[in-house]
């Protein structure tokens, strides 16, 4: 007897409403290509700069996980989120939201030289309230 079983949906995936979905416990990477502009000029990431992805339970301020991406590859402007087993298990089946912030630690002085600011940061919210849904595979 031949039995055809339906396959699982791709995990992770982006649905038609731009919601990122995956199955609980899956391990994967998400590669974000982030091209940012300030006053019309492309931002060139410095080694000190950070892009921070903060994930919360949807509709709450309960932080589930924060990815801090440093040393952004300036040739690709790529930030990589690695969902290893321990990270993935933090996301129980349900809905989450996340925001993205860019932190610029380097500032140019009047001579066009770049210096690292130790005590001040230039923080820009890149995006907010993006949605994620973690599904149970039963």
Q: What is the per-residue pLDDT for 19?
A: 96
Q: Would 23 be classed as within a structural domain? A: yes
Q: Would 64 be classed as within a structural domain? A: yes
Q: For the chain, what's the residue count? A: 138
Question: Quick check: 66 and 53 in contact, CB under 8 A?
Answer: yes
pTM value? 0.82
Question: Quick check: 72 and 49 in contact, CB under 8 A?
Answer: yes
Residue 119 has pLDDT above 80, yes or no: no
Q: What is the per-residue pLDDT for 99?
A: 94
Q: Would 1 be classed as within a structural domain? A: no
Q: What is the per-residue pLDDT for 39?
A: 85
Most confident segment among 41-55, 95-109, 115-129: 41-55
Question: Residue 118 maps to which CATH number?
Answer: 2.60.40
What's the whole-number average pLDDT of the chain? 86
Instruction: Please state, in angstroms and rounded to a whole number, the distance separating the CA atoms of residues 43 and 77.
Output: 10
Q: Would 101 be classed as within a structural domain? A: yes
Residue located via tokens 């989120």: 81
Number of separate domains in the chain: 1
Q: Would 4 be classed as within a structural domain? A: no
Q: Would 2 be classed as within a structural domain? A: no
Q: What is the per-residue pLDDT for 105?
A: 76
Q: Would 7 be classed as within a structural domain? A: no
**DSSP conformational letter for 118:** S
Q: pLDDT-based confidence at 25, cuts 50/70/90?
A: very high
Per-position DSSP letters for 19-82, written without gaps between them:
-EEEETT--EEEEEE---EETTEEPPPPTT-EEEEEEEETTS--EEEEEEEES-BTTTTEEEEE
Q: pLDDT-based confidence at 28, cuts 50/70/90?
A: very high
Q: What is the per-residue pLDDT for 108?
A: 57
Q: Which of 37-51, 73-87, 102-116, 117-131 has the lowest mean pLDDT?
A: 102-116
Q: What is the per-residue pLDDT for 7?
A: 73
Q: Would 47 be classed as within a structural domain? A: yes
Q: Is the peptide bond before 12 cis (omega within 30 degrees of 0)?
A: yes
Domain interval for residue 121: 13-135
Q: What is the per-residue pLDDT for 136?
A: 92
Gyration radius of the chain over CA positions: 18
């Amino acid at each position: 007897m031949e039995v055809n079983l339906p396959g699982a949906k791709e995990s992770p995936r982006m649905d038609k409403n731009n919601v990122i979905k995956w199955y609980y416990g899956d391990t994967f990477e998400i590669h974000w290509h982030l091209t940012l502009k300030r006053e019309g000029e492309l931002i060139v990431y410095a080694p000190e700069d950070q892009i921070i992805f903060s994930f919360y339970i949807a509709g709450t301020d309960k932080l589930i996980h924060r990815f801090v991406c440093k040393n952004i590859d300036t040739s690709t402007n790529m930030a990589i989120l690695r969902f290893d087993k321990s990270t993935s298990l933090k996301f129980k089946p349900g809905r989450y939201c996340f925001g993205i912030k860019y932190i610029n630690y380097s500032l140019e002085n009047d001579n066009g030289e770049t210096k690292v600011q130790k005590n001040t940061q230039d923080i820009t919210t890149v995006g907010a309230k993006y949605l994620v849904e973690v599904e149970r595979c039963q």
